[in-house]
Amino acid sequence: MALQGVISFAENGTSNFPKTSEDKVREKLRFLLQTYKGTIPDDLQYGTLLEDLVFAPIDIGLQLSAENEVRTAVATYMPEVTIESVIVTDRSQAGLLRFEVVYSLARGPEEPLQFEVTSSV
């Protein structure tokens, strides 16, 4: 089944590029993973503690902690998404940690999601 794009409008009334359901899933996933747990007043468990890992040494402990944070958040808030892998990809500058999350939906694998987490300190 082909998915059709939907045209959305920004708050200023201009149209954005069409959003497919895959785009919406990616945006929702990125928002979930980049939201610091405890910052959404209506649901203090929403989000992750990935930001707490920004200054941790890059080792197996960091990898396991990141994977646990991602899998737990996604299982709770986006059960339609299956996490295939979580990879800490880079720390090219202080206070920045890059991740790659490979995920799939019931209909098949998606392009990997790459995102950054920075320290708010």
Q: Where are the domains of the chain?
A: 21-118
Q: What is the predicted pLDDT for the residue at 16?
A: 53
Q: Among the CATH numbers 1.10.10.10, 3.90.79.10, 3.40.50.360, 3.10.450.40, which is that of 21-118?
A: 3.10.450.40
Q: What is the predicted pLDDT for the residue at 76?
A: 96
Which parts of the chain sit beneath pLDDT 50?
1-15
Q: What is the predicted pLDDT for the residue at 8?
A: 34
Classify residue 50 by burial, with Cβ atoms within 10 Å: 0-12, 13-18, 19+: buried
Q: What is the predicted pLDDT for the residue at 17?
A: 54
Q: What is the predicted pLDDT for the residue at 78?
A: 93
What DSSP element (H or E) covers 116?
strand 113-118
User: CB 48: neighbour CB atoms within 10 A?
Assistant: 21
Q: What is the predicted pLDDT for the residue at 36?
A: 94
C-alpha of 27 from chain center: 8
Q: What is the predicted pLDDT for the residue at 75?
A: 95
pTM of the shown model = 0.72
As a whole number of angstroms, the distance between CA 97 and CA 11 comes to 31
